[in-house]
């Protein structure tokens, strides 16, 4: 999909606000017939503009009261080193986000833990065991200010 027009943007805004919106309501909201709206939505999904629909579950509701921001340095930046680390970090169920970074650290992770004792377990059993890790620096979030699920259209 080369470029989004105003109708595509309206569709994206509506489904970001309510991923369970009916096609009939979506069509009415964006000014299309239901069949035309369905075709547009299908194109947005197949082209990868929309890459999924998700329920946003509160970590606190699942008793995960602590979020750690973890900076990790590896022993090198070789393709094999990065690939091995990335394959292993994907297996850790408490890692919510992992970014390959430029700058001082190689990766930044967002990790959910139930409490400090649980984070110690995650650090000991998972993070310290990740391949090629030479340095781990953890900071703990005191309060969430904003967590946007999507970028504005």
What tens digit of pLDDT does each residue of 18-73 get?
A: 999 999 999 999 999 999 999 999 999 999 999 999 888 888 899 999 999 999 99
Taking the CA atoms of 85, 88, 90 and 95 in sequence, report the sign of the dihedral they define: negative
Total domains present in the chain: 2
Statement to judge: residues 115 and 70 lie in one domain: yes
- pTM for this one? 0.82
Residue 136 lies in a domain: yes
Contact (CB, 8 A) for 132 and 81: yes
Note whether residue 153 is domain-resident.
no
Rg over alpha carbons for the chain, rounded to the nearest Å, is 20
Q: Is pLDDT of 152 > 80?
A: no
Summarize pLDDT for 80-114 with one digit per residue, the tens: 999 999 999 999 999 999 999 999 999 999 999 99
Residues 22 and 76 in one domain: no
Task: Look at residue 150 in the predicted model and tell me its pLDDT.
Answer: 80
> Domain range spanning residue 18?
6-46
pLDDT, one tens digit per residue, over 133-143 is: 999 999 999 99
Q: Considering the domain boundaries, does residue 114 fall inside one?
A: yes
Residue with tokens 């900071």: 139
* Alpha carbon of residue 85 to chain centroid: 18
| 41 and 63 part of one domain | no
Structure tokens at 132: 């090629």
Q: Which CATH number covers residue 105?
A: 3.30.70.920
pLDDT value at residue 153: 55
Q: Which pLDDT belongs to residue 54?
A: 87
């Amino acid at each position: 999909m080369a470029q989004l027009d105003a109708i595509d943007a309206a569709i994206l805004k509506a489904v970001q606000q309510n991923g369970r919106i009916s096609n009939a309501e979506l069509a009415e909201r964006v000014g299309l017939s239901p069949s035309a709206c369905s075709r547009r939505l299908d194109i947005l999904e197949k082209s990868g503009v929309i890459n999924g629909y998700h329920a946003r579950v509160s970590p606190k509701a699942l008793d995960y009261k602590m979020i750690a921001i973890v900076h990790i340095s590896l022993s090198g930046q070789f393709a094999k080193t990065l690939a091995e680390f990335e394959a292993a970090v994907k297996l850790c169920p408490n890692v919510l986000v992992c970014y390959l970074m430029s700058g001082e650290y190689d990766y930044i992770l967002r990790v959910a833990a139930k409490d400090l004792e649980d984070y110690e377990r995650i650090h000991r059993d998972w993070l310290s065991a990740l391949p090629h890790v030479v340095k781990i620096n953890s900071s703990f979030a005191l309060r969430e200010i904003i967590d946007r699920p999507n970028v504005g259209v």
